Amino acid sequence: MNILEETKFIMNKYDVNPNKKLGQNFLIDEEAINFIADLANKEDTIIEIGPGLGTLTSKLLERAKKVIVIELDSKMVDIIKDRFKLYKNIEIIQGDILKIDISKYKNAKIIANLPYYITTEIITKLIKQDINEINVLIQKEVAERICAVPGEKEAGAITYFVQYYADAKILKQVTKECFIPSPKVDSTVIQIKKLEKPRAQVKNEDLLFELIKENFSKRRKTITNSLSNTVPKEKLINILKELGINENIRGEKLSLEQFAKITNLI
């Protein structure tokens, strides 16, 4: 029985209809599933977010020391419990990853197929945890934004946030035909590895990310206009002059280090 047949069998057995509100699209491509599962090794404690029917989970249980699955949908939790009731290396948590404290799982590795609609929120939370490596399958456009270089046209506020804390790279492309139901867009596997210390040094991290977020909410404006609600224009112009930055430049062209310097002078 191949993975597509197995998925259809499980869906029929448990009378499952994918929940669109929860972004449920089941990965059925064997090559992609094995590629993702191979990111785990026998010494790893893995946190899998949104295991769904448990297709990836079954592969992770074979490869990892322990697998902690976090699933919001109670029906999927029941399926996971039933499918893997004989396994000793699985821990099942029902709940919202955005509300669950995972700080006790120090040095765990994230491997997951994330729902599109809360991808950035999940990644933002995970990066702030004591987790060194995050491997996730996400929407291709979001993956390209996360892995972009600050200053490139693909970059957004999430680019700078991730770059501040970590290195991010694209590992594999996965087409929409590899899922049931098939989403409207392709997906990408990315890897995020935390740095030992942030890439830039700032006195106030909250202010740094506030400036970056505000800038990208008005990305067509110059830096002096995009930040006008936070920093008096005259003050910002003086700061830019001190740093040798053109006051008419758009903020999307600035590097992380330049935003950090602006933050420190503010």
Q: Which residues of 65-100 are buried (b: 16+ CB within 10 A; e: fewer)?
A: ebbbbbbbbeebbebbeebbeeeeebebebeebeee
Q: What is the pLDDT of residue 65?
A: 97
Q: What is the pLDDT of residue 207?
A: 96
Helix (H) or strand (E) holding 191: strand 187-194
Q: What is the pLDDT of residue 22?
A: 75
Average pLDDT, the chain: 94
Average pLDDT of the segment spanning 106-125: 93
Q: What is the pLDDT of residues 41-66, one digit of tens each?
A: 999 999 999 999 999 999 999 999 99
pLDDT above 80: residue 21: no
Average pLDDT of the segment spanning 246-256: 92
H-type alpha helices, the chain: 3-13, 30-37, 55-63, 74-83, 119-127, 140-146, 157-165, 205-217, 223-226, 233-243, 256-265
Q: What is the pLDDT of residue 151?
A: 84
Q: What is the pLDDT of residue 149?
A: 92
Q: What is the pLDDT of residues 156-167, one digit of tens each?
A: 999 999 999 999
Q: What is the pLDDT of residues 187-224, one digit of tens each?
A: 999 999 999 999 999 999 999 999 999 999 987 889 99
Q: What is the pLDDT of residue 106?
A: 83
- Paired with 93 in beta bridges are 70
pTM: predicted TM-score of the whole model, two decimal places: 0.92
pLDDT band at 1 (very low <50, low <70, confident <90, very high): confident
Q: What is the pLDDT of residues 131-156, one digit of tens each?
A: 999 999 999 999 999 999 998 888 99
Instruction: Label residue 42 exposed, middle or buried (CB < 10 Å: 0-12, 13-18, 19+).
Output: exposed
